[in-house]
């Protein structure tokens, strides 16, 4: 895992969304991440197309802000970067996604598994890109202070097609004393049904 390019570009606007994505490459300067992301080309003829639908049941209120992106990595390639001597990282890239509200409780978007072009970007041979997943976060209105309710899709979910996330209603619109808090879900078995709302995710191949 790594710190997403999209999160770096949105840190000032959406600190809560990105606060939990720091990982192995957190030492990389923003300029390095942006430069590497621009290097990688989009596949002009992608074939593996999926539609993602999120249905929110018993929502405590409306959601006006959505932050979403699909993540990709080329694990068979590496590049060297400054900051740490001889340090290397795998190329990765995030593609922003736009979710459309298709009903009062339903949002929809789509993505391609093969969205990035396989290419010899570093003179090491062709970099083979793989789909890492989709990350989505909903907030009531204010992206700086309101709680972000998180949901995601992994490659395994492309087979199972469905996934469920549950979040506490009391964190909407803002969790007290936690500005920009990110809710990653909960175990609904230890809460009363009236205390949480549910995000049902359906993924289907188009």
**Predicted confidence (pLDDT) per residue in 174-190, tens digit:** 998 899 999 999 999 99
Tokens 């989505």 correspond to what residue?
Answer: 136
**20 and 65 Cβ atoms separated by less than 8 Å:** no
* pLDDT at 176 (0 to 100): 87
Across the chain, mean pLDDT equals 85
Name the least confident of 10-14, 18-22, 56-60, 152-156.
18-22
Q: Which two tokens stand for residue 22?
A: 């720091």
Chain centre distance of CA 87: 25
Residue 84: is its pLDDT beyond 50? yes
The angle formed by the CA atoms of residues 120, 124 and 130, to the nearest 5 degrees, is 60
* pLDDT at 31 (0 to 100): 54
Domain ranges of the chain: 5-205
**68 and 134 Cβ atoms separated by less than 8 Å:** yes
Cα–Cα distance, 49 to 51 (Å, whole number): 7
**73 and 4 Cβ atoms separated by less than 8 Å:** no
* pLDDT at 83 (0 to 100): 57
Looking at per-residue pLDDT, the higher value among 68 and 161 belongs to: 68
């Amino acid at each position: 895992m790594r710190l997403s390019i999209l999160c770096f570009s949105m840190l000032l606007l959406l600190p809560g969304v990105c606060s939990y994505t720091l990982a192995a490459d957190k030492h990389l300067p923003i300029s390095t991440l942006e430069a590497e992301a621009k290097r990688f080309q989009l596949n002009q003829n992608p074939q593996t197309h999926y539609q993602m639908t999120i249905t929110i049941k018993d929502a405590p209120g409306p959601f006006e802000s959505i932050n979403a992106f699909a993540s990709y990595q080329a694990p068979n390639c590496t590049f060297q970067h400054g900051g740490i001597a001889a340090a290397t990282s795998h190329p990765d890239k995030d593609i922003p996604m736009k979710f459309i509200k298709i009903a009062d409780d339903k949002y929809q978007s789509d993505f391609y598994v093969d969205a990035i072009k396989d290419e010899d970007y570093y003179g090491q041979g062709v970099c083979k890109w793989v789909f890492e997943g989709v990350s989505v976060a909903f907030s009531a209105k204010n992206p700086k202070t309101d709680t972000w309710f998180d949901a995601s899709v992994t490659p395994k979910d492309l087979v199972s097609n469905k996934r469920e996330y549950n979040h506490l209603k009391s964190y909407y619109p803002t969790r007290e004393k936690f500005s920009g808090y990110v809710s990653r879900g909960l175990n609904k078995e230890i809460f009363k049904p009236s205390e949480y709302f549910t995000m049902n995710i359906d993924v289907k191949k188009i």
